[in-house]
Amino acid sequence: MENHSEINRSAVTRQTPQEGVEGLEMMDELTSESELTECDVREIVTSINERGLERFEEKSE
């Protein structure tokens, strides 16, 4: 987990240790060839969150 400072450690500790390790290994495998930077990912997440909020607010009206 030292390689993943972005991970919410308290959430991971609630999982069984094996689930946590398997999840991190899968994340490493899925992202191993990614050329996205952390900044790119933040921009994408912000965009997704903003659009999700817009859709939620539209449905709430």
Summarize pLDDT for 2-59 with one digit per residue, the tens. Answer: 676 666 667 666 667 778 788 889 989 998 999 999 899 999 999 999 999 999 999 8
What pLDDT sits at residue 51? 95
| pTM, entire model | 0.50
The whole-angstrom separation of Cα 61 and Cα 17 is 43
What pLDDT sits at residue 40? 95
3-state secondary structure the chain: CCCCCCCCHHHHHHCCHHHHHHHHHHHHHHHCCCCCCHHHHHHHHHHHHHHHHHHHHHHHC
7, 20 contact by CB (below 8 A): no
Q: What are phi and psi of 26, to 5 degrees?
A: -65, -40
